Amino acid sequence: MHEYRKLIVWRKAIDLVSDIYKLTAEFPKKEQFSLTSQINRAAVSIPSNIAEGAGRNSNKEFAQFLSIAHASTYELETQLIISKNLGYLAQEDLKKALNQLYEVQKMNYALQRKLRQ
C-alpha cells in the first residue's frame, strides 16, 4: 500500500482540481449541469483514482488506477478545449490549465512506468 498523500503527482492533481473549480465557477449558469459538471467530475477523477490505486494491494493494481487517472486527464483536456472554443475560457486560462494538466500527465506516466518495472 502506498501513501498517496506523499505523492507529488497526487498533490499537483489536487491543486489542479481547485484551479479547475475556480475556472468553471465563471462559466454560464446554463452550463452548470452539463459542461461545468463534466469538467469538474473529470478533474476530481484524477486525484481520486490516484488515491484509490494507492490503496490497492499490488503495484499492478495501482498502475491500473493510474491509467484510469491518466485517461481522465485526456477527457479534461478535451473539455477545456471545447470550453475555450465556446468562449467560456480565455486563451491564457486554457494555457495555464493545460500546463498544469500536462505536468500531472508526465508525472503520472512516470509513476506508472516505475510501478510496472
C-alpha cell at position 23: 475556472
C-alpha cell at position 9: 503527482
Residues 57 and 16: their CA atoms lie apart, in Å, by 27
C-alpha distances (whole Å) from 95 to each of 31, 81, 115 are 21, 10, 30
C-alpha cell at position 16: 489542479
Q: What is the pTM of this model?
A: 0.95
Per-residue pLDDT of the chain (117 residues; tens, 9 = 90+): 689 999 999 999 999 999 999 999 999 999 989 999 999 999 999 999 999 999 998 999 999 999 999 999 999 999 999 999 999 999 999 999 999 999 999 999 999 999 988
Residues 77 and 61: their CA atoms lie apart, in Å, by 25
At residue 43, what are phi and psi to the nearest 5 degrees?
-65, -45
Which residues are CB-neighbours of 109 under 8 A, at least 6 positions away? 70
